[in-house]
Structure 1
Amino acid sequence: MESKSEPVPPRYEESKSAFPQNNEDAELGSDADSLQKGDVLSLESVDPVLNAKMHMVNNTIDEIGFTPYHGKLFILNGFGYAVDSLILLIQSIIAQQASYEFNPSWTKGLTAAVYVGMLVGALFWGLSADIIGRKFAFNFSLMVCSIFAIIAGASPNWIVLGLFACLSAFGGGGNLVLDTAVFLEYLPGKQQWLITMMAAWWGLGQLIAGLFAWAYLPNFSCSSVATCTYHNNKGWRYVWYSCGALVFVMSVLRITVIRLKETPKFLLGEGKDEEVVEVLTGIAAKYNRPCSLTVERLQACGLSGAERRASVSAHAVSKWSPREIWVHLAGLYATKRIGLSTTLIWFSWLLIGLAYPLYNVYLPLYLESRGAQTGDSSEYLTWRNYAIVNVCGIFGPVLAGIMCASRWFWGRRGTMIFGALITMVFFFAFTQVRTGAQNLGFNCAISFCLNIYYGTLYAYTPEVLPSAHRGTGNGIAIGFNRVMGIVSAIVATFANTATSVPIYICAALYIVMAIVAGAFPFEPYGRRSS
C-alpha cells in the first residue's frame, strides 16, 4: 500500500485547471477548493489518485441530485433492514412453541443458530462486496434468505429447524451489510441523513413479525410439551411460511424494479473509469439532470484501469489472491484516525450486540413475566403488546434522521449520545413498572429511543469507512454484533432473563455506548462519504 506521505500525482495538479468554473460548479464547490473539506476522509487518504477521483464522483453525484432512482433505492434497500429484524425476531417468537413440539435439550440453540448464520453471512457478503461487487449480493442475498425461511417452516425436528434458520439468517444478515453501502454510494451529500432514516424499515420488520405472531400463535399453538403435536401446533410454522413468502416477494421486487448497476464508487476502486461515467451519465440522462463528469477528467487525475490496480490501495495486484483480504483489513487502519474510528465502531457494535438481544430477543419472556404481575398474562395481550411496541420502534430512526440533518444536535455523534442516554433512563425507570399500562408505555418508549441510537449507528458506520473497504469493515462490525448475540444465548441458558437483571445490564451498556459515540474521531454532518 502507498504511504500517507506520497506526493500528489502531477497529472492531478494539472487537472485542477480543467475543472469547470460556472455558477453550478460554484454552488457545488470547485473540485480543487473543496477537496480538503468536502469529504469525510479527504485528509486521511493514503491514495491521492483514488481520493481525487472519488471527490470528482461525489461532486457529480451532487450535481445530479436526488432522483426517483434514489427513492426506489430507499424502499428496496429498506427491505434488507426489515428482513434482518424479521428473521432475528422470528426465532425468539416461535422458539417456545417449537420447543414444545420437539422438546430439545438446549432450548436456546435456535437463537445461537440464527446468530451464527448472521455472523457468517455478514462476514461473507461483506468481504465479497469489496471483492466481487455490491450488485451480486444485493440481488441474491434476499432470495437465499426467503427460500430457507420457507423450508424452515416444514422442519421435522429441532436440529433441522436450527439448520434452516441458520441458512436463512445467512442470507438476511449478510444482505444488511449491502443495503447502506449501495444506497450511500449513490446518494448526494445533502441527503446522506436518509441513511439514518432508512432504519425505520428495521422497526417495520419487527412490526411484521409481531403481527404474524399475534395472528397465528394465540390460535394455532399448544400449551405444553405434554399436549403438543404436529397438528395442534402449526402456528409457528405459519409464521415461517408467511415471513418467507413475504421475503421472496421482496427479493423479486429488488431484482425486477431497481435493476441495479454496480455502484460508481466500487467501480472507481476497480479502476473502471469508463463504467463509472457510464453509470452516472445514464442516471442523469434518464432523469434529465446535468452531468459534467467525463472519462478524460477522471484519467487526468492519474493512472486508470489495469495499470492503476498495482498502485492503489483498493485491491491487491490480483484481487483473487489471499493478500486481497489483508489489503481490505489493512485499509481500515490506513491512518491513526481511521484505525481509531474503525476500532470504536466495532466496539460499539459489540456493545449493542449484547444489549439489544438481552432486551429485544428475550422481550417476550420479560413481557410475559411482567404481564403476570400486572394482569396482562393472556397470550393474546402479550402478542398485541409486542406488536404495539414494535410500531413505536419505526419512528425512532425517523427522529434520528431529522436530528442528524440538524446542526443543533451535533450531527451523528450527538444523535447517538442522545439516543443512548435517553434509552438508559427508560431502562432504569422500567424496573419500577407495576401496572399493565406502565408496562406497555415504557416498552414503547424504550423501543422508540433505542432505535434512535441503533439507526444512527447503522448509518454512521458506512459513512466513515473508506469506500474500497466499506463492505469488509461493515461486515466485521455487524459480525461483532452477531458474536454477542451468540453470547447472549449462552447467558440466557444459565440466567433468568425474565427478571429485571438484564434491564440493569442494558442500561449500563448504553452509558458506555454514549461515551464511545462522543469519542468517534469523524463527524459526517456537512460532509460526504468517501
Structure 2
Amino acid sequence: MTAQTTRTQRLDRLPFTRQHGRLIVGSGVGWALDAMDVGLISFVMAALAVQWELEDTQLSLIGSIGFVGMALGASLGGLLADRIGRRNVFALTLLVYGLATGASALATSVAALVVLRLVVGLGLGAELPVASTLVSEYAPSRIRGRLVVVLEAFWAVGWLAAALIGYFVVSDTQDGWRWALALGAVPALYAIYVRRSLPESVRFLEARGRHAEAEQAVRRFEDSDPLFARTTAEPAAVPDAGASSAAVAGAAVAAPGGAAPRVAGPEAALPEAAAPEASPSPRGLSVIWGRALRTRTTGLWLVWFFLNFAYYGAFVWLPTLLVASGFDLVKSFEYTVIITAAQLPGYAAAAYLIERWGRRPTLASFLVGAAAASYLFAVASTPAGVITAGCLLSFFALGAWGALYAVTPEMYPTPVRGSGAGWAAGFGRIASILAPLAVPVLNRGGEIWLVFTAFAVAFLVAAGGALLLAERRGLALEE
C-alpha cells in the first residue's frame, strides 16, 4: 500500500495558479510599502540636513534608530510567526509601521522623530522574513526560488517610489518631507486587506492541528486556474486504494507554465488523520545552532550581516553623500532615482538565474558583482561615472537580496522556519544599525573612496558566507 499524498506534496505539484499570483502580489505590495518607508528616510535625512541644519551625528542617529527597531522586530516577528501564524504577523506589522510613519510627519524635534522611527523599525523588521516565509511555504518547489525573488523585486518598486516621492515631493517645498512621511501611512490601511484576503500557511495550520483549515487552503489553490498555457506535465501520483480523491487532487500538474488536468474528486476532503500530526519539538536558537544546522546558520548570518552593512550604509546615505560631494539637493535626488531604477533588472536576472544556476552560485556571484561595483563607485570622478557605478551597485546588490530571501526559508525545517529566518534577519539588522553610524566616520577619514571601499570588502565577506549555505534548488521544504 503506497503512502497517501500529503498536502505539502499536493501544493508542490501545482502549476502557477491565479491564487499564487494573488499571494505574490498581495505580499509584494506590502513589501513595496515597506521599502518605500525605508527609502523615504534617506531623502528626509538629506532635506533635514539643510532645513534643520543637523550634524552628521544627528543624521546618523535618525538613519540608524529605525534599524534598531528592525533588528528587534525581525527576531520577535519570526518567533510570533511560528506561534500565531504568518498572515497575522504580516498584517500586524503593516499596521504598526504605517501608523508610526504617519505620526512621524508631525515630528517637531529630532528626539520625537527618533522615537517614532524606532517604532517604525519594529514593524518593518518583523514583516520581511514573515512575508518571504509565507510565500515559500505555498510556492511549488521547482519554482520556489524564482517566486521569492519576484516577491523581493517589489522592494525595488517601493524604493523607486520613495525616490520619486523624494524628487517630486521632498525637494519641492519646505514641508515636503512631512508630506512624504504622511504618504507612508498607507500600509496601515493595507493591513486590513492582508488580514482578510491572504491565506495562512498550510504547514503552520497543520503544525497547530487545524487540519480542516489546512485542507480548505490547499483546495483553494487546487481549484484555481493556471495563469499560463499548459506545457509538459508531471506524472500523477498513484493513489492508495483507501485514499480519498481529494488527497490526489492536483497530482497531475504541469511544470512551470502549465498543468495537466487535475484528478477531480468529490467534495470529501482529506481526512484529518491522513495529515501528519504535530509533535512537540525544540525551537529557536538551540535548534538552528545545533549540529545539523550550524553550518547553514553561520553562512546565513554572515551574508545577512555584511549585506545589510554594505547595502544600507550605501543607500541610506547616498543622497546626502552626493550633496556633500558638490551636487545640489535636486540633482542628488535625480541621480538617486536613476540609480534606484537599476534595481529592477537586477531582480529579473536573479529570478532567472536562481533556478538555472542554483541559489548558492547566484547569491555568491551577485555579491562579488556588488563588491566590484562598490569599488568603481569609490573611484568614480565624473557624473557619468557616478551614475554607471551606482546603477551596477543597484543591479548586483538587489539581485543578491532577492537570492538571499529565496534561500533563507529553505535552510530550516517547518517548526523553526519563521524563527530561523527571523533570527538571521535580526542579526543582519545589527549591521544596518552600525552602517549609518560608520559612514560619517569613514567619510571624514577618506571621503567617498574609503566609504565605498569598505562596502566592497563587506560584500566579499558576504560572498564567502554564501558558500556555506546548502543548495536546495528544486527540493521540497524540510518538514
TM-score, normalised by the number of residues in structure 2 = 0.85
Moved more, 286-295 or 107-116: 286-295
Distance 1:148 1:200, change over 3 A: same
In the alignment, the residues of structure 2 paired with residue 345 and residue 431 of structure 1 have an alpha-carbon distance, to the nearest angstrom, of 27
Q: Which residue of 2 aligns with 1:251?
A: 191
**1:460 equivalenced with 2:407 (yes/no):** yes
Q: Which residue of 2 aligns with 1:63?
A: 13
- Any conservation in 1 of the 2:26–2:198 contact (CA below 8 Å)? no
Aligned partner letter, 1:342: T
SS, match of residue 42 in structure 2: helix
In the alignment, the residues of structure 2 paired with residue 208 and residue 58 of structure 1 have an alpha-carbon distance, to the nearest angstrom, of 36
Corresponding residue pairs, total:
437
Distance 1:217 1:260, change over 3 A: closer
**1:496 equivalenced with 2:443 (yes/no):** yes
- Any conservation in 2 of the 1:119–1:483 contact (CA below 8 Å)? yes
In the alignment, the residues of structure 2 paired with residue 147 and residue 128 of structure 1 have an alpha-carbon distance, to the nearest angstrom, of 20
Moved more, 197-206 or 89-98: 89-98
Q: Which residue of 1 aligns with 2:232?
A: none
What's the CA shift string for 1:405-451, capped at 9, x where partnerless? 11xx2x01010121011222222222332221121111111101111
Cα deviation, residue 368, structure 1:
2.7
**1:518 equivalenced with 2:467 (yes/no):** yes
In the alignment, the residues of structure 2 paired with residue 428 and residue 342 of structure 1 have an alpha-carbon distance, to the nearest angstrom, of 29
**1:30-429 alignment to 2 at 5 Å?**
56-102=6-52, 106-107=57-58, 108-192=60-144, 193-220=146-173, 233-245=174-186, 247-256=187-196, 259-285=197-223, 287=225, 291-292=246-247, 299=273, 304=277, 308=278, 311-313=279-281, 327-334=283-290, 336-370=291-325, 372=326, 377-406=327-356, 409=357, 411-429=358-376
Aligned partner letter, 1:519: L
Distance 1:254 1:133, change over 3 A: closer
Cα deviation, residue 98, structure 1:
2.8
What's the CA shift string for 1:333-375, capped at 9, x where partnerless? 45x34221112101211111211122111112332344x3xxx
Cα deviation, residue 123, structure 1:
1.7
SS, match of residue 301 in structure 2: helix
In the alignment, the residues of structure 2 paired with residue 329 and residue 272 of structure 1 have an alpha-carbon distance, to the nearest angstrom, of 26
What's the CA shift string for 1:487-530, capped at 9, x where partnerless? 1233235342752112111111222222221222x112121222
Distance 1:58 1:296, change over 3 A: closer
In the alignment, the residues of structure 2 paired with residue 516 and residue 286 of structure 1 have an alpha-carbon distance, to the nearest angstrom, of 39
SS, match of residue 448 in structure 2: coil
Aligned partner letter, 1:138: F
What's the CA shift string for 1:159-196, capped at 9, x where partnerless? 11111122122212211121111111111112202112
Cα deviation, residue 88, structure 1:
2.0
Q: Which residue of 2 aligns with 1:223?
A: none
- Any conservation in 1 of the 2:88–2:195 contact (CA below 8 Å)? no
In the alignment, the residues of structure 2 paired with residue 64 and residue 422 of structure 1 have an alpha-carbon distance, to the nearest angstrom, of 35
Aligned partner letter, 1:389: I
SS, match of residue 126 in structure 1: helix
In the alignment, the residues of structure 2 paired with residue 134 and residue 179 of structure 1 have an alpha-carbon distance, to the nearest angstrom, of 7
Cα deviation, residue 81, structure 1:
2.7
Cα deviation, residue 472, structure 1:
0.9
Aligned partner letter, 1:250: Y
- Any conservation in 2 of the 1:412–1:525 contact (CA below 8 Å)? yes
In the alignment, the residues of structure 2 paired with residue 159 and residue 331 of structure 1 have an alpha-carbon distance, to the nearest angstrom, of 39
Cα deviation, residue 215, structure 1:
0.6
Distance 1:165 1:412, change over 3 A: same
Distance 1:273 1:79, change over 3 A: same
Aligned partner letter, 2:118: C
Aligned partner letter, 1:90: L
- Any conservation in 1 of the 2:359–2:472 contact (CA below 8 Å)? yes
TM-score, normalised by the number of residues in structure 1 = 0.77
In the alignment, the residues of structure 1 paired with residue 121 and residue 26 of structure 2 have an alpha-carbon distance, to the nearest angstrom, of 19
In the alignment, the residues of structure 2 paired with residue 401 and residue 164 of structure 1 have an alpha-carbon distance, to the nearest angstrom, of 35
Cα deviation, residue 152, structure 1:
0.5
Moved more, 459-468 or 85-94: 85-94
Distance 1:190 1:291, change over 3 A: farther
Aligned partner letter, 2:396: C
Aligned partner letter, 2:454: I
Q: Which residue of 1 aligns with 2:477?
A: 529
Q: CA RMSD in A?
A: 2.4
- Any conservation in 1 of the 2:343–2:398 contact (CA below 8 Å)? yes
In the alignment, the residues of structure 1 paired with residue 149 and residue 410 of structure 2 have an alpha-carbon distance, to the nearest angstrom, of 10
Greater C-alpha radius of gyration: 1
Percent of aligned pairs with the same amino acid: 23
Cα deviation, residue 261, structure 1:
3.2
- Any conservation in 1 of the 2:95–2:191 contact (CA below 8 Å)? yes
Moved more, 148-157 or 361-370: 361-370
In the alignment, the residues of structure 2 paired with residue 493 and residue 429 of structure 1 have an alpha-carbon distance, to the nearest angstrom, of 20
In the alignment, the residues of structure 1 paired with residue 30 and residue 125 of structure 2 have an alpha-carbon distance, to the nearest angstrom, of 8
> Which blocks of at least 5 consecutive residues in structure 2 are unaligned?
228-244, 249-267
SS, match of residue 418 in structure 1: helix
Cα deviation, residue 132, structure 1:
1.3
Cα deviation, residue 101, structure 1:
4.7
Cα deviation, residue 151, structure 1:
0.9
In the alignment, the residues of structure 1 paired with residue 392 and residue 295 of structure 2 have an alpha-carbon distance, to the nearest angstrom, of 33
- Any conservation in 2 of the 1:147–1:244 contact (CA below 8 Å)? yes
- Any conservation in 1 of the 2:379–2:449 contact (CA below 8 Å)? no
In the alignment, the residues of structure 2 paired with residue 99 and residue 385 of structure 1 have an alpha-carbon distance, to the nearest angstrom, of 18
Q: Which residue of 1 aligns with 2:259?
A: none
> Which blocks of at least 5 consecutive residues in structure 1 are unaligned?
1-16, 21-30, 32-55, 221-232, 316-326
SS, match of residue 526 in structure 1: coil
SS, match of residue 413 in structure 1: helix
